[in-house]
Amino acid sequence: MTDRTKSAAEQQAREEALVAEVLASFDNTPDDRLRELLQHLVRYVHDFIRETRLTEKEWSQAIDFLTAVGHITDDRRQEFILLSDTLGASMQTIAVNNAACADATEATVFGPYFVTDAPHVDLGGDISGGASGEPCWVEGTVTDTDGNPVADARMDIWEADDDGFYDVQYDDDRVAGRAWLTSDQNGEYRFWAVTPTPYPIPHDGPVGAMLAATKRSPVRAAHLHFMVTAPHRRTLVTHIFVSGDDYLTQDSVFGVKRSLVKDFVRQLPGTPTPDGRDLGDRTWSRVRFDIVLAPAAV
Ligand code: BEZ
Ligand code: FE
């Protein structure tokens, strides 16, 4: 054995011994799941450091980055979730926890703009609450995976206005672009909203700097959020996206699924609306979204 191969072997042995030592330090964790998660984490973190041959300067920069993520996080701004979203970790967690089930509608990222006390609207009502944008008629059904209608499903809907802001991003306490309603006895639903437009995620912090350094766009493809809940059904958190949108292939949080891309069909001014609403000389759009709920896990 040459000196060089001897040193390489010694180096590898030292690195592996450290991994084994750290793994063993968690061996007596009473909670099996906590032990499993921590030991996997240690394995992957050590693999990452060893495979990339991470320098001490890079390690220090990573600590500075995470420190900045912590510093900008408060009750209103959650930079850690944004980091998880932009690394695709949020979507991977959603994929793992919403297993494909017959033709059940795919789930996608929740995002930071849901609020629990949105107003109720009747079927056919307007969730825009004065949010700016082109009126959009949304209709469809809620069924189970056997095709049976799901009556009285609670549907929470939320969206940004056409300036790219959710109501909670304004500091005037407005409530707009959000509401909840319930499906009728045939599982059908309908409401007015505004046609979704693309908007950027908050990118004035460390996550924005990461996107800029990697030449990634902060923009989310245009979407309308849904959360649908019904007894004995898996809660569905999803969006629908606008076919033809330029950002479908570069959504900053990897939320786009082909099955969720819908035709928002633009209607010329004067086209009669489904409920007789008079929109004067405005264009409007309409979209159909048939929702299939998976059974709740037993
Ligand atoms: C959103 O869709 O509202 C959203 C999702 C992830 C990060 C930021 C915004
Ligand atoms: Fe959103």
Profile the chain (298 residues) by mean pLDDT over runs of 10 residues: 89 98 98 98 98 98 98 92 97 95 96 94 97 98 98 98 95 96 98 97 97 98 98 97 97 97 97 96 98 90
Domain ranges in the chain?
3-80, 90-293
Residue 224: Cβ-neighbour burial (10 angstroms; 0-12, 13-18, 19+): buried
Of 129, 131, 229, the residue nearest 179 (C-alpha): 129
Q: Which residues have C-beta under 5 Å from ligand 2, the single-atom ion?
A: 111
Residue nearest atom 6 of ligand 1, based on CA coordinates: 111
Please answer whether residues 26 and 42 qualify as being in contact, where contact means their C-beta atoms are separated by less than 8 angstroms.
yes
CB-based contacts of 191, cutoff 8 Å, min separation 6: 121, 123, 124, 125, 126, 127, 137, 138, 139, 157, 179, 181
CB-based contacts of 48, cutoff 8 Å, min separation 6: 54
Superfamily of domain 90-293: Aromatic compound dioxygenase (2.60.130.10)
**Number of continuous H segments (helices) and E segments (strands) in the chain:** 6, 12
How much helix, strand and coil, in percent to the nearest 5, is found in the chain? 35, 20, 45
The pTM assigned to this predicted structure is 0.92
Atom of ligand 1 nearest to the CA of 160: 3
Residue nearest atom 7 of ligand 1, based on CA coordinates: 111
Q: What are phi and psi for residue 178, nearest 5 degrees?
A: -160, 145
Token pair listed for 212 = 């800029």
Q: Report which secondary-structure segment, H or E, holds 60.
A: helix 56-72
Residue nearest atom 4 of ligand 1, based on CA coordinates: 111
Tell me, what's the pLDDT at 298? 59
CA dist 254 and 108 (Å) reads 9
Tell me, what's the pLDDT at 297? 80
Token pair listed for 286 = 């309409």
Please answer whether residues 158 and 114 qualify as being in contact, where contact means their C-beta atoms are separated by less than 8 angstroms.
yes
CA dist 263 and 223 (Å) reads 12
Reduce the DSSP state of residue 108 to 3 states and report it: coil
